[in-house]
Every structure is written in C-alpha cells, then in structure tokens.
A and B are shown apart, each in its own frame.
Chain A
C-alpha cells in the first residue's frame, strides 16, 4: 500500500485514491501514418519494465483528477519523486539529474 505525494494536492495521499497509468514519457509519434507496422507496434505494445528506477504515470482519480509522474524503484517500491506533466525527472537510472 503506497503513500503517494500528489504534486498538485501538495501532500502524501493513500494509494487507494490513485490509479496507475503505465510508463511515463512515451513519445507518441507525430505522424503515425509514416510508421511501418513494426515501428507502430513498438510504440503500442512494448514497455520497459525495468528492475530499479522507473518513471511512471499516475492519475489522482479520487482526488484532483490530475495525471502526474512518479519515479519509483521497482525493487524497494520507494517513490523517489513525483513531478508534474511537462517536468523532467530529477532522479534517473544513470544516477544524476538530466
């Protein structure tokens, strides 16, 4: 049961209020029609599923209804940061900020 800091509400809230929304920072192709099936399939279906640092998207469904990002360690479940859409993560698997 995670405690998630909502960057919009400004406080830690219980996991029950949120829904997980998958991997963050996936860039949607600007011109999908120019991609072949393999390239489009990669965008559609393939996800990182890393062991360790993972940037993911959460939805504060029973709260402010905002999507935001979280950097979570998939080993310890520790949430290292949360940040709003448009921002870049400070914690990355390379160890330093971007």
Chain B
C-alpha cells in the first residue's frame, strides 16, 4: 500500500525522509515527523482496533492524548510496550505496531461475527453478571481480558533503564502552546527558574497545525523564534516529550519525560524515560482544550474524526485522512477545518451547522470559498462498515433536540465533528479544585484551588489566540513575582494576531435520531469502553443518580483515555435524563495519572542492587571472602552462617554452636545500635526510659534493660554501660537503633526538655567482635596485656578500656550465648584488622566464626528473647517471665510503668513465654506454628498461642522452641499440640524457657 493520503507538504514533516514500519505485520511507510497515527492515515488504514464490548471496527479519531481507539502494542519481546496511543507514538525506522484489540485480526473479528458477546454486556455488566459466585471471578476476568484484549505486558525483564530527577523551580509551566510559551518567556525574563514541559515532541501546541499568522509570520516560524529565545535563558529548562501526569500536594508535580522512545526500542540508548519530581513555587497550567465530539448514531465508524484532528493531519503532517468530507459543527471555529480541507484540494461535501443562522467571520470566509453550508441541520447517523460511506443529515429544531425535517443522504468517507471545546482541566482537578460549569464556553472551567497555580489560555476557557497571549504575558509576570522574581509587570508586548471574530456556539450533547435513543443505532459517548447514550439513560432508569455512580456503573471514562473526549457529553446526557442542569449533576473528578505512566519510571534506579541500601559492617569483606551466607537484618547484611565445603546449613550451624560451647567462637556484632548519652541528667533520663534503674550503676559496669512503650509493651532491649558519671553507652537491637534514638529524642525534646542530656548515634563508629566460649579469656589474653582479665578483676557485666592488638579498644564482658564472652569494640576503621588479630589469637583454640543463625540457637538455649521475634508489641516484661527487669520501686514512674497495672496487663490468660520440648526430640517445630490444647478439636481449633523461635540444638541433642501460650507460666509440664501445614500434629511439652545452664554459671567463670 502506498501513502495514498499523503499531501505534498506538512508543516512538521519531511516527506523526503522515508521511514519504514509495520502495522499488524504489514510493511508500511511514513515520513520523518510523522506519528504512528498520521502514518497510518497516510496509508489509508481505516480500522486500527476493535471496541471493548461490541468488537466494532474503530478508526483513528483524534491526534493526541485524547485518542480512544488507536491503542497499540509497540515493539516485541522484552521491550514491548502495551497500550500506547498511536497519536502519541513518534514514528521511527523499524517500528512494530499491533492493535491491542481484535482477534484474530482487526479486519476479521470473530467476536464481532458471533456478536453475542456485546449484547451480554449492558451497563453494569460486571456487577450484574460476574459478582456471584465470587470465587468464579478469576475465571470471568480471564475470559473478559482475553476477549477484550487490553494489550500484553512483556514477560521478560525490562531491558531499559529509567531514572528520576528531583527538581525545584520558581515556575513550572505545563504545556508549551502559545500561552505556555509566552508565560514562560515572561517569567524567565524576570529571573525565575522556569521549567516548561510539553507532552509533544515539539513545542508549539495548537500552533503547530495552525494556518494563523502571528506578527506577520507563519505560526510555526513565530514558535521557533520563541523557543529559541527560551533556550537562550540559562534559568529555563525546556522539556519536550514530557507529560505532566500528576499534580500533588504543595505544588509537587510529576513529569514523565520520554527520552529515547522516539528513537526506537533499544536497551543501549541510555535512559529511556526519566521521571521528574518537581517542587514548584508557582505553576501555570496552559494545557489547552480538547475538541468535544458530537454524539450521533454510529458515530464510531472509522472515518468519523474530530474536526481539529483533521486540520492537524492536513496542516501539520501533510495527510488528508479521506477524500470526501462532511463537516459537522456547532461553532464557528470548526469552519477552519473546512477551509483547510478545501485548500488541501479534496472534496468538501458540505458543512452541517446545527445553528440556524451562522454568520461569523470564519463562516463568511468559508462561504466565499464556495463551501456549501447547511445551517440548522445535524448529522444524525453515519453509515458504513469499516469506513464511513455516507452521512444521514436532517434539519433540527432551534435547540437541536428534535428532528424537524426529512432525512437526506450525503455520500462521503470522512465526517469531521466539532461540538465545541472542553478545557483540559485534569491537572487543576488533581489539586482538588472543583470544576465550574460555564454557560458561555459550554464547558467546565478549572475551579478555585488552594495550590499556587493558575490556568491560562484554552484550559482556562480562553479560546481566542490574542486573548490567550494577553492573559499569558500577565500570568507569567505575576507568577514570577509571587515566586520572588521581578516586579509583576509584563515586559514583552502582546503579539499581533490575524484572527476572526467568532459567534456563539450551540450546546449540543446528543444529536437526535428518527428513533428514540434506546432504539436508535448506538450513539457512542465513550468509544474505548463502548458506553452509549442509551446505556447512560438505562442506568438512570435503573435508579442511578450520582455522576460518580453512573461513571462506575457504565464504565464511562474508565479507559486509558480517561474519558477525555466523552465525559462532558456523557454528563450532559445524564443531566438531561435526570431532568436537571449540568451544574446540578456535576462532573467526575480527574485523578492522576493524566496519561498512563510507566512503572519502570516510577521505580527509577531503585532496582536490583540499588533497590534498598545494603549496610556493611567493617568486617563484611572478610565474611565474603570466607564464603559466608548473609541474612538481611533491616538494611544490614549480617553473616548468617559460614558453611565449609560440602556442609549444609544445618551442618554448619550445628558445628558453629558446638564450637562456641566447647571452645571458642567469634561473631560480628557491629550492627547492634549504639547511642552515646551524656549530660548532667543522663542517669535520671536513662532510668526513666528503661524499666529498671540505672541511678546506682557505677562507671565500669553494664546492665541489661528493657524499654517499654507507654502502653507497657516491650519495644527494645539491650545492655547499657555507664562510661562515666552521667555518661552512658546504650546498646539497642540491630533493627531498633533509629527508632530508639527517635524515641529518646522525643521524650527529651517534648516531654522533659528540662533534663539536660544529649544523644549521639555511634552505631557506625564502633566495630564489635564478640568472642565467646570457654577459651575466650585465653584467646583475648594473647592480644591484650593492659586489662586485668582475671575472673575477679574483670567480672561478668563489667567493661574495660584497654589495648587489643595495639589498638585502643573498649571490651565488654557481656554474653548473649551464656558462655564466657568478651565484646571487643574498636573504632570501625580498625574493625577488620582487629577481627583478624582475634582470629589469629584464637587459632590454637580452633576459633570458629559463627553467624546470626548460631547466635539465635545459642541464645534460645539460654531462653534469651529477641525483641521483635519472641515479642510482637503486645508483650509485657511479665509475659516474657522477666519481672526481674522491672524496677517496681523506682522513684520516678518510668515510661510504661502505669500500663503494667492496667487490668488487661495483669489478666491471667495472657500469652506468656515458655519453652516447648517436642516429645520426639528430632522433630523441629515451625516458627509461627499455632499452639492448641486439644489435638482432636474440629477446625477452627482454639488457638492458645504460637511458636516464636524454634531450632535444633546440637548441644542438647534435641529440638528446642520458645512459644507464647495463654497462661503458659502455670502450665509447666502440660503437653500441647502444634498442627503443621503438612497435616502433621506435633506434640510438645511446656517447659521452662531456659534449656541450658539454668543457673547461668558458664558466663560467670
């Protein structure tokens, strides 16, 4: 097929550069500057897709974001992109496009032939048909999706790269049509930091397709000059191919910039799309307007288009999308299309004007060209199959509500429609501004907003170019001033424009038919989702009144075009059916995104290795070199276990655990949170935060403490050391560090500002190597000769400053394994060397590095809890059998104390921490398993608790578990049952939570 509809010239195309592409497998050609839509029209392609419900053939209607029909799958394989509008896809060499709707092909559609499917889908179809039984919904959905064909997402990993920029500016101008360009220039001159974004490949907006002359030059030349001027400002960022898709709180807007899509789909071109997250002091919305379609019978046949789109294809792209045009209008403005068509040298059958006596300047100009105008008439029906063959035209009464004359047939292959214009108020809507109906422009204008924004030009309801420019110059200067730049006075004169005076348009939302709406051939309101005028009326008859309900019931505006064309007509038809005015009926509110936004761009670079920070300890690389497996603990990578060749995880953990109990192990404990606390009231403050007292803790001593929230529930635990009078080092859990610091600051800053104390995180400053086991003292003595390591000289729960392997260190004699342990802390820059020195010192004791898994087993053998694993935010110290950690006689009421006396905190059947010993020692319970008292009980069983920790203990030779069980402390010796997911029921005995060395002698040696 050749480009049968290609005209000699287009303002923005270069017909000497041929571009090859395929559409549904067919080889076609376009030219440089084409969109996929203009190239398809140039090739005379009529049917570009099939409709959602009725599977009717559909053609291209519009030329931009409003396009409801030409929805394409672009590219193939991993880089395929579904649901792009052909009107927004720039043509490139080798582009592969396919219709997303229509099976087996758009020209031969099985669904259409059987025809039953659409009739099964009246408004509210989903609700009526597919709601019950609910469990079948997945089946229904699968069927609907296959039939409707909403495009297919790639199954392979996305090969493209996306990123995000955080931008700040004084003024963001949305839309680079005449109003936006002029406003941006004015603000830029005032010194404002300006970003101007436009979704099209070129700046200029409506002027790119205009034949108007500005300041004596062609509109495109005037635009080019303006854009060059803007680019010369260093304080202006111009973003073409950039859609402002959302307007969020406090003037925060999202822009999707398509950087390489127009070059073809390839992974190696750099960033495909960039998301700009813009915080703007001021915003100017210059988003223009959408032409409103006219609703008449079978207005969806390919060949029915928007009048402005026909002009755009003719003027901008050099494509005449047909041969014989019938233009149907309610306003003067669309006469320009007639003039453009006439100039293109194609046949203009007639202009059908619904108004009785159109006599504006453009009308006159058209008539002078010999164009036939049929006033007071309407196109009541289009006829044809895969292309319009004729228009049925009839005389209408004065308000267009009734047919008053005979129907005549006009042969044509193109019907261009204009029902006036609807301001693109989408972004204004995002701010929460309620649209306001304006009788003058027969449309909704942006409402008042709390954001720092203003709408200028067509999106504010100002349509005449000269008025747009005058408004924009002022808006630019004013917005700049409000952002702190310039004096608010316009500097540039308003450009002189050659312009026709227009007469008022007529409001016409539904063109009558000789049959009633319910019996007439479908009059489509929303093409993409096949919502018709009769469907809306039916919804009203079924009792729906609210516009928001009708929208959901009929699915009007739910497509990827979000009802940009159809919504106003739909609401007006609804208002009419309800017998009320349009303002009374109101409008649905547009929400982000304005057009679909790629997930890849939203993710940006936060993927793969950069998805979340990986925090490393100073010894991390050593663990890697030793082949450690790692476990994520918050953002930290902690060594989990150190498998030797051929070892399973269980093997490694068993070996590590035995080594600690029998000789010596070493653990990287650097991830524990550490907070330095100093100030005259430090002791008092620390005592208020922990459940036990620190007032009498002497320098050189440590104490274990539990921190409660005000509701009495455990939220963190750890050791706190007194470094000097009123100077403490608080250890927190690895995951709790930031939360604890914020908690301390909260109480000091807001509740007790009179307490003089400062907190500083030193988590990253210290590297901690814990050596644990009977040989720990001997090993440490080899590298430390300035600390008295004797049992009496350096007791359990003491700390000492000293020198370890030549580096100043702070050594804590605390233990999480129950063995003799020293935690050697050195500034992190010495972390790895000291670790290696300790490894060397421990060599003769077969020192064994162990990871978090062994640490968990060893502490569980001792019944030591892990906050967040054995507790879940609903556990008191008493629940954990840790009454000993609560200082009941503390002079000051510590945080959480009062709540420990609440009736709920002291009730008897609270879940309490106990040990569980499986009757068959080799069986290991699953963490999270429920505990029941009666294994025979029918489902649903009474759940009496759950397993919080469970391991196999190589030291004990059987499994061990910790669990919280209702009233558990008074159930020692009872047998309980844990039903497993695989159907087994494991019996276990409730025992004390301390399994090993109950007297705690080993850590005191």
Contacts and interface: CB of A to CB of B under 8 A. Distances in A.
Contact, chains A and B (beta carbon distance below 8 A): yes
A1 B248 CA distance: 7
Given A67-B750, A85-B750, A61 B898 contact: no
Contact of B742 (A3, A41, A59, A76): A59
Interface string A60-92: 010001110000000011110000011000000
A21 B250 contact: no
B251 interface: yes
Interface residues of B, number: 27
Most interface-central of B711, B742, B898, B901 (chain A CB within 10 A): B898
B749 A66 contact: yes
B749 A85 contact: yes
Given A37-B903, A40-B902, A59 B450 contact: no
Contacts of B893: 31-33
Contacts of A9: none
Contacts of B750: 57, 67, 85
A45 B899 CA distance: 12
B902 A41 contact: yes
Interface string B861-903: 0000000000000000000000000000000010001110111
A40 B897 CA distance: 11
A69 B935 CA distance: 54
Contact of A40 (B248, B746, B751, B898): B898
Given A28-B751, A44-B711, A86-B753, A59 B746 contact: yes
Given A41-B902, A76-B450, A86-B753, A59 B745 contact: yes
B279 interface: yes
Interface in B750-789: 750-751, 753
B249 interface: yes
A79 B749 CA distance: 22
A19 interface: yes
Nearest to B745: A65
A44 B897 CA distance: 12
B897 A32 contact: yes
Contacts of A61: 738, 742
Interface string A11-50: 0001000010100000010011101010011001100000
B843 interface: no
A85 B751 CA distance: 9
B252 A3 contact: yes
B712 to A, nearest CB: 9
A67 B438 CA distance: 47
Nearest to A67: B749
A76 B710 CA distance: 32
B432 interface: yes
Given A3-B279, A14-B279, A37-B902, A78 B450 contact: yes
A61 B749 CA distance: 13
A44 B895 CA distance: 12
A44 B710 contact: yes
A85 B753 contact: yes
Q: Among the interface residues B432, B750, B753, which one has the most CB atoms of the partner chain A within 10 A?
A: B750
A1 B250 contact: yes
Nearest to B450: A76
A35 B745 CA distance: 26
A3 B450 contact: no
A82 B749 CA distance: 16
A10 to B, nearest CB: 16
Contacts of A66: 745, 749
Contacts of A78: 450
Nearest to A86: B753
Contacts of B903: 37
B687 to A, nearest CB: 16
B983 to A, nearest CB: 41
A77 B903 CA distance: 39
Nearest to A78: B450
A69 to B, nearest CB: 9
B746 A21 contact: yes
A78 B164 CA distance: 26
A47 to B, nearest CB: 13
A41 B746 CA distance: 21
A35 B749 contact: no
A44 B710 CA distance: 7
B252 A1 contact: yes
A76 B279 CA distance: 17
A77 B898 contact: no
B784 to A, nearest CB: 36
A64 B250 CA distance: 22
A85 B746 CA distance: 11
Contacts of A32: 893, 897-898
Contacts of B250: 1-3, 77, 79
Nearest to B904: A37
B193 to A, nearest CB: 15
Contacts of A57: 750
A1 B249 contact: yes
Interface in B207-257: 248-252
Nearest to B279: A3
A57 B749 CA distance: 11
Interface in B147-171: 166
Contacts of A79: 250
Interface in B708-754: 710-711, 738, 742, 745-746, 749-751, 753
Given A3-B279, A32-B893, A57-B750, A76 B711 contact: no
Contact of A33 (B279, B432, B898): B898
Interface in B247-282: 248-252, 277, 279
Interface string B632-648: 00000000000000000
A16 B630 CA distance: 29
A78 B451 CA distance: 9
B753 A44 contact: no
Nearest to A19: B742
A24 B166 CA distance: 31
Given A1-B248, A33-B893, A59-B745, 4 more contacts: A1-B249, A31-B893, A67-B745, A85-B750
Interface of A: 1-3, 14, 19, 21, 28, 31-33, 35, 37, 40-41, 44-45, 57, 59, 61, 65-67, 76-79, 85-86
21 contacts: A1-B249, A1-B252, A3-B252, A3-B279, A21-B746, A28-B751, A32-B897, A33-B893, A33-B898, A40-B899, A40-B902, A41-B902, A44-B710, A59-B742, A61-B738, A61-B742, A66-B745, A67-B745, A67-B746, A76-B450, A77-B249
Q: Return the 9 tightest CB-CB contacts between A and B, nearest first.
A: A32-B898, A3-B250, A1-B252, A67-B749, A76-B450, A77-B249, A1-B248, A85-B750, A67-B750
